[in-house]
Amino acid sequence: MEIKSIRALAEIMKANGLTLLEMNEEGKTIRLERKAEFSPAQVPNLPAEKPAGSAETAAAPEPAAEEGVLVESPMVGMYYAAPAPGSDPFVTVGSRVKKGDVLCIIEAMKTMNEITAEQDGEIVQIYAGNGQLVEVGQRLFRVREIG
């Protein structure tokens, strides 16, 4: 395999958030692996690191229960926040939704699957980023029910 091809594969991995790629070609195996890059904004609910032995470590308060219902991915696929590139997203934080409203699209095996709201509510958190690969059970949204 040529260096250009390897670089192209590395760019594809980075663009899609992949950390491991293994290929077999003509009896030869190539395995590309990279460290996952996360910022605190991408990983919700991670506690901030505190220095060991700090006074806050021993008396840390219990986190408040998060309000709302989680919407999780029912499949592995590519998450899309909008119906087409350049279009407005289906929902944003603060959007009010009704049962059956489209929240996002997950592309799996070249099929576009609409993920819909299961109840009326308000979007209070969005966990996935546009174009991100999502897994089964991965958090997508938190929806606060509106009575």
The CATH number linked to 99 is 2.40.50.100
Read off the pLDDT of each residue in 121-126 and give the average, rounded to a whole number. 94
Is 29 contained in some domain?
yes
pLDDT value of residue 65: 54
Is 22 contained in some domain?
yes
Overall number of domains in the chain: 2
Look at 50-64, 87-101, 104-118 and tell me which has the smallest mean pLDDT. Answer: 50-64
Cα 140–92–80 angle (5° rounding)? 50
Q: Which of 140, 123, 32, 14 is nearest to 76 (CA)?
A: 140
pLDDT value of residue 35: 62
Instruction: List Cβ neighbours of 66 (8 Å cut-off, separation of 6 or more).
Output: 45, 125, 142
* Sign of the torsion angle spanned by Cα atoms 99, 102, 103, 109: positive
| Beta partners for residue 141, in sequence order | 71, 126
Statement: the pTM of the whole predicted model exceeds 0.85? no
Is 44 contained in some domain?
no
Is 123 contained in some domain?
yes
Mean of per-residue pLDDT scores for the chain:
78
